[in-house]
Structure 1
Amino acid sequence: MKKHKFKILLLVCFTVFSAKAQTVLTVDEAIKIALENNFDIRIAANDLKIDKTNVTIGNAGILPTVTANVVDNNGIQNSKQTRSDGTVNELDNAKNNSLNYGVGLNWTIFDGLGMFARYDQLKELQKLGEAELRLSILTSISDVISTYYNIAQQQQQLSALDSTIVISKQRLELANNRYTIGKASKLEVLNAQVDLNTDTTNLLRQKELYANTKIAMNQILARDPQTDFIVENEIVIDRTLQLGELTALAQKQNPQLEAQVINKRVSELQLKQIKANRYPVIGINTGYNFARTESSLGFTTQTSANGLTYGFTASMNIFDGFNQNRSEKVARLQVQNSQLLIEQQTENIKSQLASAFQTYLTNIELADLEQKNEEIAKQNLDITMEKFRIGTIPTIEFRTAQLNYITAQTRNNDAQFQAKLSEIALKELAGNLKF
């Protein structure tokens, strides 16, 4: 008995030492790494920078444009001129050139206020980019937390299977001892060996799953897939969530709903821009230009001029084949569709929250039930093990108690994990995952 306890103690000490040798990754640290490294977040952040860069009055068409122009034309021609008095002038390889250069300014000062609507639309598109970034962050953080607690659950399962291996080895040793002294048959030893091999196979499969899940976590964190770490085993479930509070938060913070509201505003501003086409477009222009021409043949061999030019332009659409009316009608329908999408998204979120909340309540009850069931299975295993030691029960009964305990541990670990996933899903829908 003391020998068996000593082996278990050695195994526990080795496990603790191995855990200390590895880096313990907390959930807060994982979230921080994801915020810094995750590719989806970084791409969304760059898209937002693009939207911010586009929000300028120049991009909206409010500022004037200033251009510098240079035109230099040269030619070499064989020329012949016959004047009205009959005089003929001829010149081969006559050179001709003209040079024009200057600076011009064009400024649309009125376009039915369409330029201001475009500027407001650019600002709304920036807000849309911010909502999309929050959605990307929320989704990535949800993936991080879910994967983190999946690893925690698998670590618990590994610990359970390690304990099972210890018990199965004790059983094999007891069977061998009983066989040696003639109190058990060879069949009992063989059965114990087969069960130990089965438990070892299950442990290897679990180790494979555990390693692959850690690789998936490293991928989410955008770091070396072979980075080794362990996570904190404890899964703490928030049992204080209320459906009414979550629904109120979702209507204020859910990025998908927020994006639909912004899209409606964008559609309304697009309608304003289209309506602006009914008004005249007035612009002013000015500039300073220099011109010079040279000709080898003719009455004037050189001319030059420079000075200021200015003026204004005005245009107004009178008839365009009823396209203006069609465009406004389409834009109004797009505004209506945007409102319908807001209502649809609101109802979808309410339905998802109600369904997820019911799952959350059920999973909490199951977590409590499975925890109690594991405690009962552990008591049953302890009693069965003592009876098996003194030889009052057969091997099959001991194995049944052992398998029941393994199953109870697995179900409890999974129940705790599923309850945590339900909590994460609710907070994600409400836009309330902390980061």
Structure 2
Amino acid sequence: MKINKLIYIATGWLLIGTPLHAQEMLTKSDAVSIALENNFDIRAANNDLEISENSAKITNSGYLPNVSGSAGTNFSRTNSDLTLTDGSSTTINGAPSSDASASLNLDYTVFDGFGRMYDYKKLKENYNLSDLQSRAVMENTLVNLFVSYYEIARLSENELNQKQTLDISRERWLRAKYSFEFGQNSQLDILNAEVDYNTDSINYLTIVQQLKNEKRNLNLLMGRDVSITFDVDTLIIFEENLDYEVLNALAMEKNATLNIEQGLLRNSHYDIKVASSSMIPKIGLNSSYGWNKNKFAPGNFLSERQSTSLNIGASLTWNIFDGGLSNTRRQNAKLAAENQLINVERTELDLERQMQNAWTVYQTALFVLQAEKKNLETNYRNFDRSKEQYGFGQITSIEFRQAQFNLLTANLNYNQAKYSAKIAELVLLQLSGTILEAQF
């Protein structure tokens, strides 16, 4: 296939990949709002949180009494042969009889050795843990969301830079053709220009495809139709005056992972109390009210009887010795609490390591960003000068191509540095537990 045909096909693809009308502008705040409402992980976490909230209510605590009611009735027909005291006899066939009863029962544990109280505290703590886990899901979703969002922003700017490079290469190719026609260039200049133009076309197509794929990824994260097209805001706002000591203190106070481990530690102490409660006497109250009605068959001394009853009682239960089961549960609960304390200490140390690493990455990213910015400015000046010299024939096309390539590389490197620095900042804010209040 001839090189000009390749260029024609590539140009056709470029036109197809270029939007002919304005697309939806997906702002950062819009992306956050859509994700918080539709993201699958967040929706599932919210349901889990609601389950924990329901479980932490007083109705699930064991503090309220148990009230039960029952009612029943029986009916029968009896055939009887009766002999009276005077020696006479009689026969009764199909004599009806029935009885009906109803009762209302109440049981209440007045004191259970404080086990109920600590179980209820565990339910409350479980709700707090679910809230923290829901927050952790939101934080992870936000980080993933903006990693994807900023990748789209980076690719969008790279697409623009690559398109500008492609336009320059096409202009150079046409210039080489016209110069050859007037005898000012050789066929080699045209071939070099064609190869460079075709290379830039392929690079542009690759960026366009990467951009489309990343937009589908972001749509999936937001829980919406993956085929929706949109543009993103490429403006980057960095947090000002970030201080490591302040962030580190916030991390030890607000980091979701550490808070979860601390909540699990509190629950492990409640488990010890619950296990110990089985060795303490328990006091209970019970009461019942009953109603009974009997209709006797003919031939009985009574034809009908109706009665009501009210019972009130109290009980004391003490597990004096259960073969050592309660003591074993308490010892195991203490050991589990010691292990959870180890987990908290390990998480604190690991968080400090992550904070130091993240801070180093962030500081390095800011330095690289400033260096790439200066490098880009230098390459712009170099390209402008090279373009002028190329127009006057003072440098070769190869030298001009090198200046063009250097400018493109500087642009790509600057974009990478810019968004890498922002992502490094977000990771630092996530570790410090403040990402939900961050600027995006």
TM-score relative to the length of structure 2:
0.88
Task: State the distance in 1 between where 2:193 and 2:54 align.
Answer: 71
Alignment identity in percent?
A: 32
Unaligned ranges ≥5, structure 1 = 1-16
Q: Which of 364, 367, 371 is 2:366 aligned to?
A: 364
Task: State the distance in 2 between where 1:88 and 1:254 align.
Answer: 93
Structure 1 residue matching 2:422: 3-state secondary structure: helix
Deviation at residue 328 of structure 1 after TM alignment: 0.2
Q: Specify the code of the residue in structure 2 equivalent to 1:172.
A: W
1:164 aligns with 2:165: yes
Task: State the distance in 1 between where 2:391 and 2:38 align.
Answer: 55
Deviation at residue 145 of structure 1 after TM alignment: 2.1
Query: How many residues are treated as equivalent by the alignment?
Result: 420
TM alignment of 1:345-424, pairs within 5 A: 345-424=347-426
TM alignment of 1:20-39, pairs within 5 A: 21-39=22-40
* Comparing 166-175 and 276-285, the one that deviates more: 276-285
Deviation at residue 424 of structure 1 after TM alignment: 0.8
1:257 aligns with 2:258: yes
Task: State the distance in 1 between where 2:88 and 2:380 align.
Answer: 127
Corresponding residue for 1:43?
44
**Contact 1:152–1:235 (Cα < 8 Å) also in 2:** no
Q: Specify the code of the residue in structure 2 equivalent to 1:189.
A: I
Deviation at residue 94 of structure 1 after TM alignment: 5.9
Q: Specify the code of the residue in structure 2 equivalent to 1:434.
A: L
Q: Specify the code of the residue in structure 1 equivalent to 2:356.
A: A
Structure 2 residue matching 1:58: 3-state secondary structure: helix
CA RMSD, Structure 1 to Structure 2 (Å): 2.7
Task: State the distance in 2 between where 1:83 and 1:268 align.
Answer: 76
TM alignment of 1:3-402, pairs within 5 A: 21-75=22-76, 97-238=98-239, 240-296=241-297, 300=302, 302-402=304-404
Q: Specify the code of the residue in structure 1 equivalent to 2:381.
A: Q
Q: Which of 420, 430, 433 is 1:431 aligned to?
A: 433
Task: State the distance in 1 between where 2:125 and 2:289 align.
Answer: 39
Deviation at residue 359 of structure 1 after TM alignment: 1.2
For 1:322-362, what per-residue CA distance to the aligned partner results, in whole angstroms no more than 9, with x for missing partners? 00100000111121122111111111110011111111111
Deviation at residue 419 of structure 1 after TM alignment: 1.2
Deviation at residue 163 of structure 1 after TM alignment: 0.7
Deviation at residue 42 of structure 1 after TM alignment: 2.5
Structure 1 residue matching 2:58: 3-state secondary structure: coil
Corresponding residue for 1:14?
none
* Comparing 359-368 and 222-231, the one that deviates more: 222-231
Task: State the distance in 2 between where 1:431 and 1:273 align.
Answer: 32
Deviation at residue 406 of structure 1 after TM alignment: 1.7
Task: State the distance in 2 between where 1:248 and 1:84 align.
Answer: 100
For 1:114-165, what per-residue CA distance to the aligned partner results, in whole angstroms no more than 9, with x for missing partners? 2222222222112112211211221112222222211111111011101101
Deviation at residue 78 of structure 1 after TM alignment: 6.2
Q: Specify the code of the residue in structure 1 equivalent to 2:290.
A: N
Deviation at residue 89 of structure 1 after TM alignment: 8.3
Cα 1:22–1:321 shift into 2, 3 Å: same
Q: Specify the code of the residue in structure 2 equivalent to 1:285.
A: N
Deviation at residue 49 of structure 1 after TM alignment: 2.2
Structure 2 residue matching 1:104: 3-state secondary structure: strand
Q: Specify the code of the residue in structure 1 equivalent to 2:116.
A: M
* Comparing 272-281 and 378-387, the one that deviates more: 378-387
Q: Specify the code of the residue in structure 2 equivalent to 1:420.
A: K
Deviation at residue 393 of structure 1 after TM alignment: 2.7
Structure 1 residue matching 2:354: 3-state secondary structure: helix
For 1:36-61, what per-residue CA distance to the aligned partner results, in whole angstroms no more than 9, with x for missing partners? 33232232222222222222333111
Q: Specify the code of the residue in structure 2 equivalent to 1:317.
A: N
Task: State the distance in 1 between where 2:220 and 2:61 align.
Answer: 41
Q: Specify the code of the residue in structure 1 equivalent to 2:335.
A: L
Corresponding residue for 1:7?
none
Structure 1 residue matching 2:64: 3-state secondary structure: coil
For 1:249-288, what per-residue CA distance to the aligned partner results, in whole angstroms no more than 9, with x for missing partners? 1011111111111111111112212211111222111121
Cα 1:239–1:176 shift into 2, 3 Å: farther
Cα 1:282–1:423 shift into 2, 3 Å: same
Task: State the distance in 2 between where 1:86 and 1:273 align.
Answer: 72
Deviation at residue 73 of structure 1 after TM alignment: 3.5
TM-score relative to the length of structure 1:
0.89
Structure 1 residue matching 2:246: 3-state secondary structure: helix
Deviation at residue 381 of structure 1 after TM alignment: 2.2
Task: State the distance in 1 between where 2:373 and 2:230 align.
Answer: 27
Q: Specify the code of the residue in structure 2 equivalent to 1:291.
A: N
**Contact 1:278–1:316 (Cα < 8 Å) also in 2:** yes
Structure 1 residue matching 2:59: 3-state secondary structure: coil
Deviation at residue 93 of structure 1 after TM alignment: 5.7
* Comparing 322-331 and 143-152, the one that deviates more: 143-152
Deviation at residue 88 of structure 1 after TM alignment: 8.9
Q: Specify the code of the residue in structure 2 equivalent to 1:398.
A: F
Task: State the distance in 2 between where 1:418 and 1:217 align.
Answer: 18
Q: Specify the code of the residue in structure 2 equivalent to 1:245.
A: V
Unaligned ranges ≥5, structure 2 = 1-17
Cα 1:83–1:372 shift into 2, 3 Å: farther
Cα 1:300–1:87 shift into 2, 3 Å: farther
Structure 2 residue matching 1:115: 3-state secondary structure: helix
Cα 1:83–1:354 shift into 2, 3 Å: farther
**Contact 1:75–1:96 (Cα < 8 Å) also in 2:** yes
